[in-house]
Structure 1
Amino acid sequence: MIEVNFTDEQLAVFDKLDFEVDPIELKGLFSKPSLNEYDLVYVLKVSNALYREGVEVINDDQYDLYISMLRDINHLNPYLNSVEPEVVSEAKTVQLPQRMLSTEKAYSLDDIKKWLKRILKAAQEINVSEDEINIRVTPKLDGYAAYDDGVTLYTRGDGYRGQNVTRAFDRGLKVAVGGQRGLGPGEIVIKKSYFNKVLKNQFENSRNIQAAIIAEKKVDENVQRAIDNGACVFYPFSILENRTAHFSEILSNFDSIIEELWDVLDFDIDGVVLETTHEAIKEHMGATRKNHRWQIAFKVNEDSADVEVLDVIPQTSRTGRISPVAELVPTKLSGATISRVTVHHYNMVKTKRIGRGAIVKIVRSGLVIPKIEKVLKESEPRIPEFCPSCDSHLIWESDHLICPNKSDCPAQTENTLIHFFKTLGNNDGFGPKVIEKLNNFGIKHIHEIYELKPHQFKIYGFGQKTSQNLSDQLKASREIQVEDWRFLSAFGVSRLGGGNCEKLLRHHSLTELFTLSVDEIVRIDGFAQVSAEAIVEGLNNIKKEFFKVYDLGFNLLVTAKESESIGVDSPISDALIVFTGSMLQGSRSDMEKHAKSLGAKVGKSVSTKTTFLVTGERVGASKINDAQKKGVRILTEREYLDLIG
């Protein structure tokens, strides 16, 4: 959550953008703890545009956090696989002499080690000896990316096309350290010492100056003076100070190398860039649409402050977890005013004693926007008993407080609907985007979706053909047979995943479950007191909605009762069977159902308790080897069918 107030300069940039920006809506999005995919792309596009124009609204770490959030939601989103445009100017774009890509980011030594494993794997694939693998480490300049071919200076643009800004050289811009023109990619930067001594009072940050150097309008006299004095330069990457060594030395001396390069230049840097120097490896690894695979940036940016907690406010997430949000005395940290920070969970609030008047140390580092690093002064915590969204009684689940009201909690409705259709698995039409659209029109319950008619879908903005398809899919969803345990699991009750649903239904019918007491559930093997209490409360919360959906007439396959399985006369009665590979007789799911009807138990992975591993086509050798080591009998599909007759 970030509080922003747009300046006149930022509002002026909005007018130049080629997509509509609503400052009030945008400000509200920055203050939200979580965003959907569409809003994340919107926030990222605007933030990038402001950054490129020298009037940033969030810093690099906050931007990277939003990138991480988007990747978690949809790693295939086009925004993640394209280079962020470098400038918002209205000038015409021109083809770059060479692609200019972004750099993959790393925030820990473990990230670097994973990247190096990919380098080593690529080397093995083309028979390059590890002795030949050297890594070049350079400072990561925090400037304005550009490309100089000796005649023209280009902005990076979208990585393929940029803009001609040769006017910067015409204004007197020089190449750093006396270098020559035509050295390819680099950054336009200004000396830190000059900025702090001469320009700090005129400009909020150096990014304003970097953008002004290439602007079409007349250059500010202060910026022109900085150019004339040699404080502003174009620094080609190829002539940067660097440390090049064998990859093993880079790893063993990583911290000292970072420290060595951090202050080697009188320019802002926000990390270091590592890349292999072996041309054959570079060519073999290639690039994504956004990054070179043979290169990575290690970013370090940490700031901290000791802050007083004004209050801890509970907020219900879309999954039902209650997130504690600490409201703080507004504090400036890494260029942003921080007034809120999310605490990990309520067990941390309780054990660390974070309440009104507590003093906490907050830090910002890497992908993390403000987090509590340490509690310096404890205070009495307040642990909520009821959900702030629906007033339901909260339950503990490990470290987290959970709202068990999946069907009627306003904060959870959209996620509950998505979970239902995803778990049911017999309806492809109702994915997250369709659910989000219906939810925005006030559809909050599962039964309400099933009651919709084609003309109502049209009212909600779906086309005529799509509306009919959605209606048809709902009808098919009720007619296509689905296991009763899967149907129950789709309601998202805490502690009631597919496995536990099936266990319960081996002893009681679907409708009987809602009358069970905690003691009756505890008597079933595999259920402890805490789980039973959560299940009873969860079932009570969904009871009304469940029967509204159940009464719509779903075609449910009833789970065989344990008493029915006992005494079943079959060669696999009481056996534990794992099916793997592609089956010819039917789907693996069908094979599993049939095995259960014959009194067998079905597992998903091989263990020492497994009786048979039944193999279809295209089975991995690792699963076969694992079964052999554990003494599990392996049957082909044909052998299994012969066994059961």
Structure 2
Amino acid sequence: MTLLQDIVNKLIYQEILVDELSDEELAQFCQIANLAYRAGKPIISDKDYDFIYLDALKNRDPDNLLFKFIETEGQSFSEEKVLLPEAMLSIDKAYSWDEISKWIKRLEKSAMQISLDLSAIQIKATPKLDGFSGFDDGSRLYTRGDGKKGSDISRVFERGLCVFNDAERGLGAGEIVIKKSYFKKYLAHSFEYPRNFQASLIKEKALDEQAQKAIIDKAALFIPFIKLPTWSGLVAELVAKFDQIVAQVLVMVDFDVDGVVFEVINTDLKTQMGANRKFHRWQIAFKENKDKAHVKVLNVIPQVGRSGKITPVVELEPTLLSGATIMRATGHNYGLVKEQGLGVGSVVELTRSGLVIPKIIFVLKPMPVDIPDNCPSCDKPLVWKSDFLTCINHKNCPAQIIGKMAYFFKILANNDGFGIATIEKLYAHDIRSVSQIYALNIEDLVTIGFGEKTSMNLINQLNRSVSEQVEDWRFLAAFGMHRMGLGNCENLLKSHHLNDIFDLNLKEIANIDGFAELTGQIIVQGLISIADEFNHIYQYGFNLETTILTKDLQTLTHELFDKKIVFTGKMNHSRDDMKKHAKSIGIKVSTSISAKIDYLVIGDKVGQKKIKDAEKFGVVVMTETDYLSKI
């Protein structure tokens, strides 16, 4: 059994706690759980996965790549991946009215920016299907894949799969599902979960009798999201009747549902809010969780993270909570521990956020707390930074050094093999920096204790990370400076070339749109701290894609400069390359049609919905050839 397999098994059976894992191990667990889920063989429940993914990992490592990009589909498809007609983003999630309320406040803030009357904000709610995601462009059906590329599974329609309510093809994103009533009556004895059966519908081999019958009986269907039954109303009504609306929407369809999706209807507001790399900001999924228990605290143990923050791990009196024996939880930070009186003998209220680890909601009975003085990894004195107890021995703390080295390769995202286990082994043999890793050869790795074949693979991956092109802002983000995640690094390099940023002063950085003086101070200090390591690594000649400076974009005079464009259909050129090039020459690229879009650029096999939307909003339609002639 591999180390990672052992970790997965121990997490599932709660022999170890999430907080005992490194960032890398936790991220790998999320990826494994995601792959198993999408292959129709989940290893943990949806609630458990969402809790680990959104709470544990996001609180600890908010810049993790898993939050910047879409989770990939399972590896059950051998077909070559193809570009999706349009990106399929994830949906942000909320587990309480509090979180929904914060989302509504963000809607209202955006509405004020475009002078939209707050009382005119319209919301619709639809069931959140627990099916198999896909995109139907009218001629082909794709899996969601990584959100940009998926597998062609058009064979499902060729086998007779129908669209929900006999709707036409080409309605975009949706899910393959099986009716709950049908599954319970005919399939529950053969399949543990509906998802297992749904996965069998799209397999490459010929369908078995059960799957073919479900298709013929129209129990297995493709449901375009735009064809789902909906509740709609003004935002004030959502606020006043939230619980009733959720209850109403959850029973609207005879399919497995794991929540309610809320989204804005107002087109201008949707455009204003836009999206990040992960999800649309105008949309959120609500997943309710009512399971709770009152539990006694046995101990609170400090553990150090990559950034030096110390996480309190709470040992609990073993408690059965909805079928799982809970023994530990995270205390989040020592500021909360101190404020709430979370100590030995405390009684806490837990929510049923996961079988693997619960979430502490309240401390019902405060007790004296024990705040550590020294770092559990390097034994150096700890200091307070806001609510966080922190180890500032950044250069010599083993846990931090190992975490930073692993983080570099994870963010670079063009290599394999340099996870925590590999980095820990290197650290044990006096490797203390990424630049030292790049200086290794096969003989060095064999001496350290890696097998010859593994050593060769690791060197090949180092070479790959240098030769395979990456964005310059991703390369900069990999050094892990505080407040310099992917977005801020890209923003910085839109104003100054990578080679020039180490000469910037506080005023120059603070004047960049989106930054301020405090952020500028942190960036200046961060750049000073990484300068030597940056220069050592940069000399290996990484293949970096240079970000176009905003001031250079402003000198462009072509006809489409600063215009908003949507690309759709099959292009002669790579759609990804076209979008990237368009952005580099000052064109604003969007994925959805609205009144604010100037042009719709079409290729072959275009979905009719996009064309109709363009006509409705007065958007100019042009062919790929026309577009290329204008730029």
TM-score (norm 2): 0.54
User: What is aligned with 2:612?
Assistant: none
User: What is aligned with 2:601?
Assistant: none
Structure with more relative contact order (C-alpha pairs < 8 Å, separation 6 or more): 2
Say whether residues 1:40 and 2:22 are aligned partners: no
User: What is aligned with 1:600?
Assistant: none
Preserved contact between residue 313 and residue 328 of structure 2 (Cα < 8 Å): no
Relative distance call for 1:177 and 1:301 in structure 2 (3 A) is farther
User: What is aligned with 2:183?
Assistant: 195
Preserved contact between residue 295 and residue 317 of structure 2 (Cα < 8 Å): yes
Say whether residues 1:298 and 2:259 are aligned partners: no
User: What is aligned with 1:152?
Assistant: 140
User: What is aligned with 2:487?
Assistant: none
Say whether residues 1:77 and 2:50 are aligned partners: no
Relative distance call for 1:333 and 1:92 in structure 2 (3 A) is farther
Say whether residues 1:23 and 2:1 are aligned partners: no
Preserved contact between residue 316 and residue 322 of structure 1 (Cα < 8 Å): yes
Candidates 148, 159, 162, aligned match of 2:150:
162
Relative distance call for 1:205 and 1:455 in structure 2 (3 A) is closer
Per-residue Cα deviation, 1:363-392 (whole angstroms, up to 9, x for no partner): 31389942467999x9x99999999979x9
Shift in Å, 1:285: 2.8
Per-residue Cα deviation, 1:88-125 (whole angstroms, up to 9, x for no partner): 21112222222211112222323223323333333333
User: What is aligned with 1:414?
Assistant: 399
Preserved contact between residue 19 and residue 303 of structure 2 (Cα < 8 Å): no
Preserved contact between residue 314 and residue 388 of structure 1 (Cα < 8 Å): no
Shift in Å, 1:331: 4.9
User: What is aligned with 2:268?
Assistant: 280
Relative distance call for 1:457 and 1:441 in structure 2 (3 A) is farther
Q: Distance in 2 between matches of 1:55 and 1:231?
A: 21
Q: Distance in 1 between matches of 2:371 and 2:116?
A: 60
Shift in Å, 1:50: 0.8
Structure 2: gaps of 5 or more residues: 405-418, 446-457, 460-505, 510-516, 519-631
User: What is aligned with 2:222?
Assistant: 234
Shift in Å, 1:23: 2.1
Per-residue Cα deviation, 1:580-610 (whole angstroms, up to 9, x for no partner): 9899xxxx99xxxxxxxxxxxxxxxxxxxxx
Shift in Å, 1:38: 2.5
Relative distance call for 1:217 and 1:316 in structure 2 (3 A) is same
Q: Distance in 1 between matches of 2:376 and 2:64?
A: 31
Letter of the 1:80 partner, please give it.
Answer: F
Shift in Å, 1:61: 2.9
Preserved contact between residue 203 and residue 209 of structure 1 (Cα < 8 Å): yes
User: What is aligned with 1:271?
Assistant: 259
| SS of 2:138 mapped into structure 1 | coil
Say whether residues 1:252 and 2:248 are aligned partners: no
User: What is aligned with 2:174?
Assistant: 186
Candidates 215, 218, 223, aligned match of 2:203:
215
Q: Distance in 2 between matches of 1:23 and 1:373?
A: 31
Candidates 28, 39, 43, aligned match of 1:53:
39
| SS of 1:275 mapped into structure 2 | strand
Relative distance call for 1:265 and 1:328 in structure 2 (3 A) is farther
Per-residue Cα deviation, 1:189-218 (whole angstroms, up to 9, x for no partner): 222233333333322211111111111123
Letter of the 2:146 partner, please give it.
Answer: D
Q: Distance in 2 between matches of 1:29 and 1:179?
A: 43
Q: Distance in 1 between matches of 2:204 and 2:374?
A: 55
Q: Distance in 2 between matches of 1:264 and 1:96?
A: 29
Q: Distance in 1 between matches of 2:163 and 2:46?
A: 26
User: What is aligned with 2:192?
Assistant: 204
Shift in Å, 1:35: 3.1
Letter of the 1:414 partner, please give it.
Answer: A
Q: Distance in 2 between matches of 1:361 and 1:178?
A: 48
Relative distance call for 1:192 and 1:375 in structure 2 (3 A) is farther
TM-score (norm 1): 0.53
Relative distance call for 1:348 and 1:189 in structure 2 (3 A) is farther
| SS of 2:90 mapped into structure 1 | coil
| SS of 1:226 mapped into structure 2 | helix
Aligned length: 425
| SS of 1:233 mapped into structure 2 | strand
Preserved contact between residue 364 and residue 371 of structure 1 (Cα < 8 Å): yes
Preserved contact between residue 154 and residue 165 of structure 1 (Cα < 8 Å): yes
Shift in Å, 1:340: 4.6
User: What is aligned with 1:99?
Assistant: 87
Relative distance call for 1:159 and 1:375 in structure 2 (3 A) is closer
Shift in Å, 1:43: 1.8
Q: Distance in 2 between matches of 1:274 and 1:337?
A: 34
**Residues 107-146 of structure 1 mapped to structure 2, 5 A cutoff:** 107-146=95-134
Relative distance call for 1:162 and 1:84 in structure 2 (3 A) is same
Say whether residues 1:86 and 2:73 are aligned partners: yes
Relative distance call for 1:292 and 1:231 in structure 2 (3 A) is same
Relative distance call for 1:94 and 1:413 in structure 2 (3 A) is closer
Q: Distance in 2 between matches of 1:317 and 1:280?
A: 45
**Residues 204-603 of structure 1 mapped to structure 2, 5 A cutoff:** 204-304=192-292, 323=312, 325-326=314-315, 331=320, 333=322, 338=326, 340-341=328-329, 363-365=351-353, 369-371=357-359, 414-415=399-400, 441-442=427-428
Shift in Å, 1:55: 0.8
Relative distance call for 1:177 and 1:457 in structure 2 (3 A) is closer
User: What is aligned with 1:605?
Assistant: none
Preserved contact between residue 311 and residue 330 of structure 2 (Cα < 8 Å): no
| SS of 1:54 mapped into structure 2 | coil
Candidates 164, 177, 180, aligned match of 2:165:
177
Preserved contact between residue 301 and residue 366 of structure 1 (Cα < 8 Å): no
Over the aligned positions, Cα root-mean-square deviation in angstroms equals 5.3
Q: Distance in 1 between matches of 2:250 and 2:174?
A: 18
Relative distance call for 1:279 and 1:375 in structure 2 (3 A) is closer
Relative distance call for 1:67 and 1:443 in structure 2 (3 A) is farther
Q: Distance in 2 between matches of 1:307 and 1:114?
A: 29
Q: Distance in 1 between matches of 2:432 and 2:293?
A: 49
Letter of the 1:243 partner, please give it.
Answer: W
Relative distance call for 1:117 and 1:458 in structure 2 (3 A) is same
| SS of 1:136 mapped into structure 2 | strand
| SS of 1:115 mapped into structure 2 | helix
Higher Cα Rg, which structure: 1
Q: Distance in 1 between matches of 2:170 and 2:391?
A: 64
Per-residue Cα deviation, 1:321-365 (whole angstroms, up to 9, x for no partner): 79564466685747x67565457898899989859xx9x975313
| SS of 1:137 mapped into structure 2 | strand
Shift in Å, 1:49: 0.9
Letter of the 1:171 partner, please give it.
Answer: R
User: What is aligned with 1:566?
Assistant: none
Per-residue Cα deviation, 1:52-91 (whole angstroms, up to 9, x for no partner): 0011112233323234444334433333211112232111
User: What is aligned with 1:513?
Assistant: none
| SS of 2:185 mapped into structure 1 | helix
Relative distance call for 1:442 and 1:275 in structure 2 (3 A) is same
Q: Distance in 1 between matches of 2:223 and 2:160?
A: 14
Q: Distance in 2 between matches of 1:86 and 1:455?
A: 32
Q: Distance in 1 between matches of 2:68 and 2:270?
A: 19
Preserved contact between residue 142 and residue 152 of structure 2 (Cα < 8 Å): yes
Shift in Å, 1:289: 2.2
